[in-house]
Amino acid sequence: MSEPRYLVTGVAGFIGSAIARALLAQGHAVRGVDNFATGRRENLAGLKGLDLMEGDLADPKIAAAACSGVSCIFHEAAIPSVPRSVADPAGTHRANVTATVELLVAARDAGVARVVYAASSSAYGNQPTLPKREDMLPDPLSPYAAAKLAGEYYLRSFHAVYGLPTVALRYFNVFGPHQDPHSPYSAVLAKFITLMLAGKTPTIDGDGEQSRDFTYIDNVVHANLLAAAAPEAEVAGRMFNAATGVRVTLNQVVAQLRDLTGYRGEVKNGPPRTGDVKHSLADISLARRHLGYAPQVDFATGLERTVAWYRQSLAAVG
Residues forming contacts to ligand UD1 in the complex (CB under 6 A) are 80-82, 120-122, 171-173, 187-188, 191, 203-205, 210, 212, 250, 273, 276-277, 280
The least distance separating ligand UD1 from the CB of residue 86, rounded to whole angstroms, comes to 10
Exactly one of 6, 117, 124, 144 is catalytic; name it. Answer: 144
For every residue of 294-315, DSSP letters joined together read: --SS-HHHHHHHHHHHHHHHHH
Q: Which is nearer to ligand UD1, 106 or 239 (CB)?
A: 239
What is the closest distance, in whole angstroms, from the C-beta atom of residue 210 to ligand UD1 in the complex? 4
Residue 144 a catalytic site member:
yes
Kindly provide the residue ranges of all beta strands, DSSP E only, lying in the chain, ordered along the sequence.
6-9, 30-34, 51-54, 72-75, 114-120, 166-171, 174-175, 203-205, 211-212, 215-216, 238-242, 248-249, 268-270
The residues, ordered by sequence, that sit 6+ positions from 296 with a Cβ below 8 Å of its Cβ are 216, 218, 219, 222
- Give the number of residues written for the chain: 318
Shortest CB 156 distance to ligand UD1, Å: 19
Choose between 43 and 280: whose C-beta lies nearer to ligand UD1: 280
Give the C-alpha separation, 285 to 295, whole Å: 11
Nearer residue to ligand UD1 within complex by CB, 30 or 303 = 303
State in angstroms the smallest separation of the CB of 281 from ligand UD1. Answer: 9
Alpha carbon dihedral 83, 265, 306, 313, in 10-degree steps, equals 100
Q: Which is nearer to ligand UD1, 80 or 302 (CB)?
A: 80
Active site residues: 144
